[in-house]
Structure 1
Amino acid sequence: YDNVVFHRVIDGFMAQTGDVKFGNSNSNDFDLRRAGMGGSDLPDLNQEFSSLPHDRGTLSMARSSDPNSANSQFFICFKPAPFLDRQYTVFGKVVEGMEYVDKIKRGDENNNGAVSDPDKIISFKSL
């Protein structure tokens, strides 16, 4: 996820990132107009919905209308989003640094949160 942009950010809802194909600002395939349409070369994931709530700081897999289409994209909730519960796969939570997530540049509310000059992940480390 290093250098991958937050291509869709909706104030009061979530920040979406993870398009490693078109959203990696250091890649030859980088195309901000297509960011959000790509993924990884790995197969899509089958849904793994649980009772974990979409609270502030929740990390959840982004997907298309097909519940088995999650790949590399994910979103971070700015505030609770219970309408997503049991419909998206929760896989983590921001445990520190949420103040930095809150500072991610917001997108155009008239264009589904698309961000014209997006912030990006500098370095991603999993624990």
Structure 2
Amino acid sequence: MSPYEALKLLGPGIVQATVDKVNIIRAKLKATQDRQKSYVDVRRKDLKFEVSDRVFLRLSPWKGVVRFAKRGKLTPRYIGPYEIVERIGLVAYRIDLSEELSRVHDVFHISMLCKYISDPSYVLKTPEIEFRDDLSYKE
């Protein structure tokens, strides 16, 4: 039987009911997407860095790879701080990496960066310790 003959037998009522259900599903999906977008927009912040700003670099979570001699929850999330050398486009930055990271490409997406805010109170000054000849010291 051709589709047109089946349409005559089933009638336009079933087709209209199906179209109505598809429209209801689309409306519910749109409402769900809008709700999720409103949740994300609350936490979203526009990041913009300037040249010579200092940033931390996010490490990608690779499973099973031991980086910086730590494993599991104690692995560092960020390394740095590094200085931004150049802005490339709207969301990419060139960073001045250290010598041990010389094999890594030096252009990163803005999502991989975290702003470094320097605070002099976090810098700890170590007192000078005078050692004796037998490598002991006075507390």
**TM-score normalised by L of structure 2:** 0.22
**TM-score normalised by L of structure 1:** 0.23
Q: Whose helix proportion is higher, 1 or 2? A: 2
Q: Choose 1 or 2 for highest CA Rg.
A: 2
Q: Whose strand proportion is higher, 1 or 2? A: 2
* More contact order relative to length (CA 8 Å, sep ≥ 6): 1
